[in-house]
Structure 1
Amino acid sequence: MLTDTILVINCGSSSLKFSLICPQTGETLLNGLAERLSSESAELKYSFQNNKQVTSLPAPFDHQAAIDVLVNILKQHQLVEKVSAVGHRVVHGGEKYALPTRVDEQVKQTIAELAKLAPLHNPANLIGIEACEKAFKHLPQVAIFDTAFHQSMPEKAYIYGLPYSLYQEHCIRRYGFHGTSHYFVASQAAKLVNKPIESCNFISAHLGNGCSVSAVKNGKSVDTTLGLTPVEGVMMGTRSGDVDPGIIFHLINQLGYSAEQVNHLLNKESGLLGVSQLSNDCRELETAMFEQDHAGAKLALEIFCYRIAKAIAGFTASLTELDGIIFTGGIGENSSFVREQVLTQLSLLGVEIDPDKNEATRFGKSGVITTAQSRAAWVIPTNEEWVIAEQTQQILSAE
């Protein structure tokens, strides 16, 4: 049994995901999810030694209640003493945090201040930190920021074509997200090409309900599609991705939308869901397209794949070499159709997909999906929790 583990916490506004991980090996001892928080139907599901359990949460059904139940579960399985620290995923670190950071009062204050840039995420992340501080008073808490990996981007990549004073006075710039995922898969791809990460150049596509494409040059992020918020970039499950900003004024001034309605439309009603008028789930859209010849599903997937291919092709402008293309995330790892459609549109980059390898590389499997003579493309399952555990351990070891 492992004696040195990190408890990884990922808080959403109504959920709390957790894993107990060995930072050296990535082995997961226990993991689970508390969901529907702040409602009477709140429950916590967890898996330990391949046994799955579900338990309801006590009032007030909040994040603290979920953490308290988690502590009891750890005690029940004699795991509390094996936890050496708690690592937290924090979505927005602004420009201040480019590295894992030990949580103190100043760090918490800054996370709260940055909620103006991530109003749906940072407040929930902070709630998780404070709940864990109460439950694990003796343990160090470490924040791992989703934006940190992208802090290496040059100004030409992150400054918008707006008055520069908006950046100087209000921090309006591109930050990028999914940083831990892009960092992890780039590190794994470096092993596949047998080169140090500092010598590697990749384009990484994290494709799920939220999507981003990133250019990695000499192991560092030099560009990414997500911006000030997670709406920019390629089309996603329910988010629009890039649109003409003039559309917003048209919706408000000509069609009578409120600013709140526009925000909801761009974040919750657009993307695959909005175009297909059917679903934001790629699996359902593929089924509808192939089995029902659903026109909306077909169009949504065509737009989705085209914009991903266009983003990958565009990011070659930030590189002088390209070792390969990486697919990760729920769609990137499991949809052989999406990968095929994206790579077919990148023949100018010398990419040729191998249909058999592509079809075989799904459901947690990793590997190359291109032919022997092609520029490489891989499927690499992401493991953001392991990154958080590993980086939490690193900062504590350095101290």
Structure 2
Amino acid sequence: MYKILVINPGATSTKLSLFEDEKEVISESIEHSVSEIENCKTIMDQLPFRKKCVEDFLKRYNISINELDAIAARGGILPPMKSGTYQVNEDMVNYLKTKTRVEHASNLAAVIAFEISKNSSKGLPVFITDPISVDEFIPEARISGIPQLERHSLFHALNMKIVARFAAKELNKEYEKCNFVIAHLGGGISVGAQRKGLMIDVNNATDEGPFSSQRTGELPMGDLAKWIFKNMHSYSKNDVKSTFVGKGGLFAYLKTASLKDALKLAEKDEYAKLIVEAMAYQVSKEIGGMAAILGGDLDAIILTGGMAHSDYFVELIKRRIDKLGVVMVYPGAYEMEGLALGALRALEQLEDTKIWEGENIL
């Protein structure tokens, strides 16, 4: 039996779990105060109190560092890389500390894990699995329409990859031989085409694809350009950004980012009903496009993420796409399982563990 500590920092919390093989035996989500967060100028300034949370967790449950077989950490904002499980080394830690392009709480995970692993007397491996920067695009997927702008692969890789593994197991098929269209329906929406284990195309969940609870998704470019020029003197750069990511989508139309609240409004308000149905419509359209990329050769269409908890919303999508293939639903997020199972596959040598080789690894 392998014991695996899982570390997953979020914006205002740190999720910690202990797995024994595939079973999660201890789980906590530790909330951080606003003052703790705001007193830190950078993400790495949070390292001391985030690390202490992990150390306190181990003490609280009488877990010795020497009884652990691995630490599984959330992958940070790294350069584009293939999916899979990577062993964390000094070079990766230094990149996350000093070179990463985006300040994000996930950058802390591997750094914390690597520092804690040094307290082990037996050499404790640290792994990351399927970070957000996973890039497996085919060449055609990178072309945007003008040579100055290239499409980039940024999506909910960890959750989408693990539910694809769940689906393959449920279908009694090999993961690497399956073709899936996977839709992660959360605060951002990612819809991707996965061919034989590789995500060959996916919408960027920040500025492409369907609108979501707080993001606009794709917008009509001509009208967008006019809007920006019209408002360029009254909006700051951050104002413009938050209009598209943070205050867009459901929130822009209905003043709520909660699908649950939007559905309550839709029971009495035709406009709210239209907006909810339009979001499902856009998700369905994106799924259809990804199915076409796979030539219609699908093992299943997978719906996951927080909004997949809503049977009503799922049905709005299924009624448009169920003729394309089997629809499988995995509501919520499975990040902790994804990290733990990635480390477990590495420990059991069920897949080759990748080694971080710097910034140009594709």
TM-score scaled by length of structure 1: 0.75
Q: 1:93 to 1:130 in 2, by over 3 A?
A: closer
SS of the aligned residue for 1:17 comes to strand
Are the equivalent residues in 2 in contact too, given 1:190–1:200 (CA < 8 A)? Answer: yes
One-letter amino acid matched to 1:376: V
1:9 matched residue in structure 2: 7
1:328 matched residue in structure 2: 304
Deviation at 1:383, TM superposition (A): 2.0
> How far, CA to CA, are the matches of 2:99 and 2:282 in structure 1?
30
Deviation at 1:216, TM superposition (A): 1.8
SS of the aligned residue for 1:304 comes to helix
SS of the aligned residue for 1:115 comes to coil
1:199 matched residue in structure 2: 177
Structure 2: 5+ residue stretches without partners: 39-44, 354-362
Report the count of equivalent residues. Answer: 335
1:384 matched residue in structure 2: 335
Are the equivalent residues in 1 in contact too, given 2:88–2:114 (CA < 8 A)? Answer: no
2:85 matched residue in structure 1: 100
2:29 matched residue in structure 1: 33
Deviation at 1:304, TM superposition (A): 0.9
Deviation at 1:345, TM superposition (A): 2.2
> How far, CA to CA, are the matches of 1:266 and 1:141 in structure 2?
36
2:219 is aligned with 1:237? no
Are the equivalent residues in 2 in contact too, given 1:177–1:212 (CA < 8 A)? Answer: yes
Which of 257, 262, 286 is the matching residue for 1:285? Answer: 262
One-letter amino acid matched to 1:64: P
User: What's the Cα RMSD here?
Assistant: 2.7
Q: 1:318 to 1:8 in 2, by over 3 A?
A: same
1:216 matched residue in structure 2: 194
Deviation at 1:114, TM superposition (A): 6.2
SS of the aligned residue for 1:214 comes to strand
> How far, CA to CA, are the matches of 1:112 and 1:155 in structure 2?
31
> How far, CA to CA, are the matches of 1:76 and 1:342 in structure 2?
44
Structure 1: 5+ residue stretches without partners: 43-60, 167-171, 352-374
One-letter amino acid matched to 1:289: A
1:299 matched residue in structure 2: 274
Q: 1:264 to 1:115 in 2, by over 3 A?
A: farther
Deviation track 1:228-277 (CA, whole Å, cap 9, x = no partner) reads xx332211111111113445543432123222211111111001111212
2:48 matched residue in structure 1: 64
Are the equivalent residues in 1 in contact too, given 2:37–2:46 (CA < 8 A)? Answer: no
Correspondence list, 1:162-201, <5 A:
162-163=146-147, 172-201=150-179
Higher relative contact order (CA 8 A, sep 6+): 2
Deviation at 1:300, TM superposition (A): 2.4
Which of 107, 126, 133 is the matching residue for 2:107? Answer: 126
SS of the aligned residue for 1:152 comes to coil
Are the equivalent residues in 2 in contact too, given 1:197–1:219 (CA < 8 A)? Answer: yes
1:78 matched residue in structure 2: 62
Which of 292, 298, 319 is the matching residue for 2:294? Answer: 319
Deviation at 1:35, TM superposition (A): 2.5
